[in-house]
Amino acid sequence: MTSSSSQPLAGKTALVTGGSRSIGAAIVRRLAQDGAAVAFTYSASADRAEALVADIASAGGKSLAIKADSANADEVKDAVSLAAQAFGGIDILVNNAGILVRGIVDDFDLSDFDRMFNVNVRAVFVAVQAVLPHMSAGGRIITTGSVTADRSGFPGASVYSMTKGAVAAMTRGLARDLGPRGITVNAIQPGPTITDMNDGDKLQDQLGPLMALGRMGEDTEVASLAAYLARPEASFITGSALTIDGGYLA
């Protein structure tokens, strides 16, 4: 028999957007490991999504992959509905889907501006709106932001930084809206993190010296913070943007 300490999310249901790879996949795995039934969206990585579902099933967990482009509001709403129907409600929403398009302001394409805003900001608001009819007191809403909300750090990040600053501000406002319903709203702000989307060794050489700990983060470490915020003991944390950056901002 599994103890409540080893599976603190047993009986809970979750939806993670952008959950098929990198930090998103690490969050899906961790929530499932902690006992939650986890639905997650993916936009293009079907093979990765299917492999993740199989891995979770082999470990005795329950998951559901849903194809949805977070730039499309209707697809985000449909994903929430499918997850709620499959699991009978949603206790935990993790808004993880995000994209990064770099560019200096002089020639930054407005179509890239619009898509990045739609995925990184609008989709968060759309998902929150859609999930509320399926979420009761004790619900958790967690959004993956970035330390770029506080420090862009490199040229060409103005629009991305803007979207992550918007996420932090929206988190505070939503916490006020939903606090009376017993729903907490928080953001996690990763610093430089090794994922399957970047060259970890190259970035370690570039960014390691900027970190107080002298190294970049792991996606599993970021996932652990998201999982903590989903747990019962995090019930008094809301409206926060919690930085997990190895001292990058220190």
At 197, is the pLDDT very low, low, confident or very high (cuts 50, 70, 90)? low
Q: What pTM does this model have?
A: 0.96
**Neighbouring-strand partners of residue 189:** 243
Q: Is the confidence at residue 1, as pLDDT, over 50?
A: no
Q: Which domains does the chain have, with CATH numbers?
A: 13-243 (3.40.50.720)
Instruction: Give, in order, the Cα–Cα distances in Å from 19 to each of 6, 46, 95, 129, 188.
Output: 23, 11, 9, 20, 15
Radius of gyration of the chain (CA): 17
Instruction: Tell me the residue type at 35.
Output: G
Position 4 scores a pLDDT of 63
Per residue in 70-107, pLDDT (tens digit) is: 999 999 999 999 999 999 999 999 999 999 999 999 99
Q: Is 160 a catalytic residue?
A: yes
Instruction: Tell me the residue type at 209.
Output: P
For the chain, the straight-line distance linking the first and the last C-alpha, in angstroms and rounded, comes to: 43
Per residue in 5-63, pLDDT (tens digit) is: 789 999 999 999 999 999 999 999 999 999 999 999 999 989 999 999 999 999 999 99
Which whole number is the average pLDDT over 182-199?
90
- Spot the catalytic one: 42, 160, 228, 248: 160
Dmax (CA) of the chain: 60
Instruction: Give, in order, the Cα–Cα distances in Å from 49 to each of 13, 41, 124, 189, 193.
Output: 18, 8, 21, 24, 21
